[in-house]
Amino acid sequence: MKRHIQHIARLLSVVLLWGVLTTQQAHAQTAPEAFDGLEDVVLAEIGGDTVAFVSSFGTDVTEISASSASNTGSTLYLGDVIDGDLDGTVFERLYIFIDPQYTTNTHDFSIANTALVFGDYDAARSVTGFTASQETYLSQVDLTWSEVSGADGYLIFRDDLAGPWPLAVLEGQQLTTYSDLGLDIYQNYTYFIIPYTLAGPDYYLGSHSTVTGKTRGFAFSATATSEATVAFSYDFDNHLLIGLDQQSAYVEVTDLTLGTVVYGDDLTLTDIAENALLFDYAADFRGVAETGVYGTSSLGSLDTWTMEVWVNPADSAEHNYLYDDGNIQVIITNSELLRVSVGNKTYATNGEHKISRDAWTHLALTYDGTDLIAYVNGSNAPLGLSWDNHMASNAVSGAGLADNPSWGQFNGGFFSSGDNLNGYFGMIRMWDRARTPDQVAQDYEDIYDAAVPGLLAQWTFGEESVALPDDIYGNILTLGTTDNNHPVRWSPAYQFVDANLQKSMEIWLEAPATDGMVRNYELTVYESGSGRVLSSGQDAVTFTHPGAP
């Protein structure tokens, strides 16, 4: 490609077409299962825009043409993607990535009316350490990889899915995990990942890396526990429920010998996860000393306020920063207490209101301009100045919040010898007023879905974005890291309960079995509502009675 067109966005008119320009010419671009060929074109939603990608993928393309023909030889024909749309989908930009080692000529694209952006296909920029879980889950494959320096994000494809859309588009260099949910049991799935950057002037597309993961099947067993009873056990994975319409499954055991159903039960995610489902995802904050994952927000300075968080701190021998704006600093101590510094004065809860490690806790602080009050799981948690004289309410001056605080990391507050938060945020909610004790107690287990007087922002973490808009008003919580060994990650709420469960039950027979009798049983798991079979397994039971004649 000539250097004067590398990395330059040429604003040309284009209405993107998927299909054949004329009946006399061959179909050029196709919908790929993996974006790895000259014929492929991919659509993606990036930065709020619909864009398209084409690439030479290291082939010796020396010419780019605005006409339509089969992409063979050294010419890349783009007629199919600059003169129409794809089922009514209009593209804002078309990115064209060519290997820079080849000198490339471009033909006249004056018929176009949207941006064409030229960049490099760089085979050397590929994901390393790409791994997939192997028979870890019934219906999920977890992907992990090492971040690619300078990448804007990653395109992920799965080989059983036709294009033009990728399985996932992850925006952010530090996003290095992805969980593919709702998969079939005991199946292989092959994935392709490609790094990209659309931040000029160095636009590039990397080469793809491939990995295959596998889901596992149910284990089912039936055992005679007496001449009249049978015990059944089976493994279950609550991840399976996430992809179901009603997040519910029906489990049924059939006596195949008699042709009768002997057991039935519903399994719901709510039954399994309980309060873990208050929010669907959590942000994973990790770090060392005062570095690691952090969040920043800008809601202005607040003279009166309420701060609420759902937090799940990991085991730590150090004090962990929860919030720090330079004036107000909130810490979870290594003895599982809540510590609040206002300027150089420090208040702390007592041992009656501990913040348990590896468990979800709701914390709230309110300030009405005069009194500072703390709450743990909706209940008042008395604060004591200098760890003593604990009171339900403390008269404090100058406890207003400053703008641009840090969540989970040190930001100039009084105490400077703690660690970055090691744990999870499930929710952050901010108010411009002090909520009453009754309001805190009544609402701490609720997630709002509409504007409420005084509410400034409510961040849950269902959207995997490092520029996270709050659920109601769109205020941004910016997530980042100061230590690339601890990237920004997300975890589903159900991860915080046992994923793999072993269920068991026992039934009575209609009459005692004779010695040596064989019964065949089948376990079937259905999707509630649709009745779709999710898994099945069989086992045989032989009844033996020692000493029987």
Q: What is the structure's pLDDT at 116?
A: 81
Nearest to 55 by CA among 37, 69, 32, 29: 37
Query: 21: pLDDT confidence band, cut at 50, 70 and 90?
Result: very low
Q: How far is CA 257 from CA 228, 264, 327, 509, in A?
A: 15, 17, 73, 12
Q: What is the structure's pLDDT at 331?
A: 96
Pairing status of strand 394-395 against strand 455-459: unpaired
Contact 468, 476 (CB under 8 A): yes
Residues with Cβ within 8 Å of 175's Cβ and at least 6 positions away in sequence, in order, are 147, 153, 154, 464, 466, 487, 488, 489
Domains of the chain: 9-122 (no CATH), 131-214 (2.60.40.10), 220-274+498-542 (2.60.40.150), 287-485 (2.60.120.200)
Name the token pair of 172.
């952010």
Q: What is the structure's pLDDT at 445?
A: 87
Q: What is the structure's pLDDT at 109?
A: 58
Name the token pair of 327.
């004036």
Query: 10: pLDDT confidence band, cut at 50, 70 and 90?
Result: very low
Taking residues 303-307, what's their average pLDDT?
Answer: 98
**Alpha-carbon distance 185 to 139, whole Å?**
5
The yes-or-no verdict on residue 302 having pLDDT over 80 is yes
The SS3 of residue 439 is helix
Write out the DSSP string of 469-481: EPTTT--EEEEEE
**Alpha-carbon distance 424 to 294, whole Å?**
11
Query: Residue 309: enclosing H or E segment and its boundaries?
Result: strand 305-313
* Most distant CA atoms of the chain, gap in Å: 96
Residues with Cβ within 8 Å of 193's Cβ and at least 6 positions away in sequence, in order, are 127, 130, 143, 145, 154, 155, 156, 157, 208, 209
The yes-or-no verdict on residue 547 having pLDDT over 60 is no
Q: For residue range 399-449, what is the model confidence (pLDDT) as tens digits?
A: 999 999 999 999 999 999 889 999 999 999 999 999 999 999 999 988 898
Q: Specify which of 33-42, 88-97, 308-317 reaches the highest per-range mean pLDDT.
A: 308-317
Q: For residue range 373-409, what is the model confidence (pLDDT) as tens digits?
A: 999 999 999 999 877 789 999 999 999 999 999 999 9
Which is more confidently placed, 352 or 455?
A: 455
Contact 466, 479 (CB under 8 A): yes
Taking residues 290-298, what's their average pLDDT?
Answer: 94
Taking residues 310-330, what's their average pLDDT?
Answer: 92
The yes-or-no verdict on residue 3 having pLDDT over 80 is no
Q: What is the structure's pLDDT at 17?
A: 25
Nearest to 187 by CA among 227, 242, 110, 132: 132
36-45, 66-75, 463-472, 515-524: least confident range = 66-75
148-162, 228-242, 310-324, 473-487: least confident range = 228-242
Contact 217, 138 (CB under 8 A): yes
Q: For residue range 191-236, what is the model confidence (pLDDT) as tens digits?
A: 999 999 998 788 999 998 999 999 887 789 999 999 999 999 988 7
Query: Residue 443: enclosing H or E segment and its boundaries?
Result: helix 437-443
Q: What is the structure's pLDDT at 217?
A: 75
Partners of residue 406 on adjacent β-strands = 296, 324
**Alpha-carbon distance 65 to 76, whole Å?**
6
The yes-or-no verdict on residue 26 having pLDDT over 50 is no
Q: What is the structure's pLDDT at 247?
A: 79
Q: For residue range 84-132, what is the model confidence (pLDDT) as tens digits?
A: 466 667 878 888 888 877 756 665 555 555 678 888 899 899 999 999 9
Query: 138: pLDDT confidence band, cut at 50, 70 and 90?
Result: confident
The SS3 of residue 395 is strand
Taking residues 483-504, what's their average pLDDT?
Answer: 78
Residues with Cβ within 8 Å of 460's Cβ and at least 6 positions away in sequence, in order, are 279, 280, 281, 426, 427, 447, 471
φ and ψ of 526, to 5 deg:
-110, 150
- The whole-angstrom distance between residue 34's C-alpha and the CA centroid of its chain comes to 22
Taking residues 470-497, what's their average pLDDT?
Answer: 87
Q: What is the structure's pLDDT at 370?
A: 96
Q: For residue range 173-185, what is the model confidence (pLDDT) as tens digits?
A: 888 999 998 888 8
The yes-or-no verdict on residue 497 having pLDDT over 90 is no
Q: What is the structure's pLDDT at 500?
A: 66
If phi over 0 gives left and psi between -120 and 50 gives alpha, with beta otherwise, what is residue 65? beta
The yes-or-no verdict on residue 368 having pLDDT over 80 is yes
Pairing status of strand 63-65 against strand 75-77: parallel
Q: What is the structure's pLDDT at 256?
A: 96
Contact 65, 75 (CB under 8 A): yes
The yes-or-no verdict on residue 165 having pLDDT over 80 is yes
Give the residue ranges of DSSP H helices in 187-265. Answer: 239-242
Name the token pair of 237.
């994975």
Query: 56: pLDDT confidence band, cut at 50, 70 and 90?
Result: confident
Q: If DSSP states are collapsed to H, E and C, what string results for 212-224?
A: EEECCCCCEEEEE
Name the token pair of 392.
């339900």
The SS3 of residue 337 is coil
The yes-or-no verdict on residue 65 having pLDDT over 80 is no
For Cα atoms 167, 172, 175, give the angle at the middle one, nearest 5 degrees: 70
Q: What is the structure's pLDDT at 243?
A: 72
Q: What is the structure's pLDDT at 543?
A: 94
Q: Fill in the amino acid letter for 244.
A: L
**Alpha-carbon distance 515 to 518, whole Å?**
9
